[in-house]
Amino acid sequence: MPDTRNPKFFYGYVIVAAAFVMLMVMGGTYYSFGVFFSPLLAEFGWTRAMTSGAFSLCIMVEGVLGIVLGRATDRWSPRIVITLCGFLLGLGYLLMSQISALWHFYLLYGVVIGIGLGGLWVPPVSIVVRWFTKRRNMMTGIAVAGTGIGGLITPLLANWLISTYAWRLSYVILGGIVLVLIVLAAQFLKRDPAQVGQLPYGENGRGIHELQLGNSGLSLREAVYTKQLWFVSGMFFCFGFCVFSVMVHIVPHVIELGIPAASAANILAIIGGVSIAGKTIMGAATDRIGTRTGIIIGFILMFATLVWLVAIRELWMLYLFAAFFAFGYASMIALMSPIIAELFGLSSVGILLGIVNFAATIGCAIGPVLAGWLFDINGSYQLAFLLSAAVGLIGLIITLFISPIHR
């Protein structure tokens, strides 16, 4: 029988690596949408609000599926579910090359790709927190740094592919890459340490049977009656609103300022690159300073940079904005699952993460469409970014009221 306390190799590191790959693909999908935004506008003549709507539908579908798949992760092996989601995500990319009408765009990007993305956040992130008691924030930060790697690589790759092969063939190439990476990474997943005869990292006091199903913590029914669940959901709604208003519209905004598209794509790459450091640094730091403190820091940085963005006109200032904004948002995304595990325990961490993630996706859906609509009626993104800053301030205020649950 394996030594559960001192294994020769701790399988949790494989889980972190597999989650990293999945989140890299997910981040690449989100970050690269803004790169395809202008070519789609140029070919089809859609408004910015109409084009943003497909992205909003995508993340809404992803959010709803996250709840369902979070519950499935709490109870069963996630390997088959994530494999199917990876197949749908790759298929959605491949079929995007054939769209010729707005409803095609909404069906494929909004629904098919949205379903595929549903298995790439809640299941892998909720699994990582089950494998670590100590260093939980740091390991979660390393895993979600994959979104930053995806954000660093994919916009630059997509911009190069579009300039070389046009946007349709670019979707085909990206679809093939996505399909292979997700399906392969999913084969290495194990729901919890008990499946390989190990204990969570840093756990030495309890038996393996006690930890096998993650029995410690509040049930879903108990959690929904706490104010903490709704506070956490509210603050991540604000988070999603701020982040995706920027992700979807920063490239069109920069192009409107007269800056070349290649330089605009570099801003997304900077956000992705700096977020890698932000997730790992804040993940490690918040193991010491506290998860709530890290979230407060994230909101402060996002609020300040969004206010500053309204006045920025120079490229070097936009790069500086991207760096500070990325560090702020990265610290928050790394701490979503740890704050849930700390407040509610592990017994229902998957579905509770799904609920909070769904709240975030509502913000992600509303933010880009509202920003596009404000541009369509004002001809400027200034009001949109000021509104995002105000929503970030609300999120900061909500965070200040979060306190531990007294069981």
The string of pLDDT tens digits covering residues 220-236 is 888 888 999 999 999 99
Query: Is residue 111 predicted with pLDDT exceeding 90?
Result: yes
Q: What percent of the chain has pLDDT over 90?
A: 37
- Return d(Cα 103, Cα 108) in angstroms, integer: 8
What is the number of other CB atoms lying within 10 angstroms of the CB of residue 362? 20
The confidence score (pLDDT) of residue 248 equals 80
Query: Is residue 2 predicted with pLDDT exceeding 50?
Result: no
Query: Is residue 199 predicted with pLDDT exceeding 90?
Result: no
- Return d(Cα 68, Cα 272) in angstroms, integer: 28
- pTM of full prediction above 0.85: no
The confidence score (pLDDT) of residue 392 equals 95
- CB contact set of 77 (below 8 Å; sequence gap of 6+): 189, 190, 191
pLDDT range class, residue 154, cuts 50, 70, 90: confident
The confidence score (pLDDT) of residue 216 equals 67
Contact 61, 115 (CB under 8 A): yes
The confidence score (pLDDT) of residue 264 equals 81
Going from N- to C-terminal start, the domains of the chain cover: 12-400
One DSSP character per residue, 301-330 reads HHHHHHHHHTT--SHHHHHHHHHHHHHHHH
- Return d(Cα 202, Cα 204) in angstroms, integer: 6
What distances in angstroms separate CA 30 from CA 20, 249, 367, one per listed residue?
A: 15, 12, 14
pLDDT digits (tens, 9 = 90+) for 155-194: 889 989 999 999 999 999 999 999 999 999 999 988 888 8
What stretch of H or E contains 11? Answer: none
Contact 122, 350 (CB under 8 A): yes
For 12-400, give the CATH class. Answer: mainly alpha
Can you say whether residue 193 is alpha, beta or left, with left for phi > 0 and alpha for psi between -120 and 50 degrees?
Answer: alpha
pLDDT digits (tens, 9 = 90+) for 275-322: 888 888 888 888 888 889 999 999 999 999 999 998 888 888 999 999
pLDDT digits (tens, 9 = 90+) for 350-400: 889 889 988 998 898 889 889 989 988 888 889 999 999 999 999 999 999
